[in-house]
Amino acid sequence: MSTAPSRAKFPRAPLIFGALVISSSLLLAVYGSMHGLAKPEAPGIVVAERALRFADRSDGAVVISLADSGRVLDVAQGQNGFLRGTLRGFARTRHENGIGPMPPMTLTGYTDGRLVLFDPSTGRQVDLEAFGSLNTAVFVRLLTMQPRAETASSQTQGGGS
């Protein structure tokens, strides 16, 4: 007569206890987020801020100007993949909302190292430092550089640098 080996059963108490811990943790997290118990991270102090306009030029360059004076900060030519990719995302959101390129965006640097590009017309915000220091450096320059003598209208209409 052969008897099949008996399988040892795993105790039920630890399984039930584990399920209770996991479900109660999930319930507390949902309750806290629904009732505003989670404290958002306090933003750092603003150290630099500029309202900027970004305009595409017929030769593919992007003219970056100060919103208040129209003076050109930079003309981004060539690759500038991170800048172009970031702006493309903002342009897509504006297009979806029926907003043109004219409303300025705000570039803000904080003491805690965050660098944020914000579009007040759509509410879209991108924390640029999340993409690494090399990519962020493209935008950091825009906070510190001095404007050129020409205005954005002369750059976008004339097409020259």
Nearest to 135 by CA among 74, 87, 67, 72: 87
CB 74 within 8 Å of CB 141: yes
Q: What is the pLDDT of residues 112-157, one digit of tens each?
A: 889 999 999 999 999 998 888 888 898 999 998 988 877 666 665 5
Domain of residue 107, residue span: 46-158
pTM summary value: 0.67
Residue type, 61: A
The model's pLDDT over 9-51, given as tens digits with 9 standing for 90+, comes to 778 888 888 889 898 888 888 777 777 666 656 668 999 999 9
d(CA 41, CA 94): 28
Query: What is the chain's Cα-based Rg?
Result: 26
> Are both 63 and 91 inside the same structural domain?
yes
Question: CB count, 10 Å around CB of 58?
Answer: 8
Is 144 among the domain residues? Answer: yes
Q: Note whether residue 71 is domain-resident.
A: yes
How many domains does the structure of the chain reveal? Answer: 2
